[in-house]
Amino acid sequence: MRLARSDPNSCDSELPAQAPDDMVSIVEEMGFSGLPISLEDGQSILDLPLLHKDPFDRMLIAQALNSKLTIITNDQMIPTYDVKTMLAS
């Protein structure tokens, strides 16, 4: 299962609060990879109902829908979209 995170400050993480200079290598060592924003993602955001006003979260929702990803979040607005979510503790 591939995961996209929303609100990284909302759940326990081994990542430091401030990004170190070698953030990319640390994230890759943890088994995560980058998720580029595609033209399809940009178009899809226009098709989403305006339930959530945060444009970054709306992009995460569009990416998760397009790429069949699960969003880990404690943001109660994200599950109002038809997107797979997992509650962050």
Q: What is the per-residue pLDDT across 43-70, written as a single tens digit (0 to 9) for each?
A: 999 999 999 999 999 999 999 999 999 9
Residue 81's pLDDT band (boundaries 50, 70, 90)? very high
Whether the predicted pLDDT of 11 surpasses 80: no
pTM (two decimals): 0.71
CA distance 21 to 77: 33
Map out the domains of the chain as residue ranges: 1-8+37-89
Distances (CA, A) of 13 to 25, 38, 39: 16, 27, 30
Q: Which residue in 8, 6, 12, 13 sits closest to 71, CA to CA?
A: 6
Amino acid at position 61, single letter: I
Q: What is the mean pLDDT of the chain?
A: 85
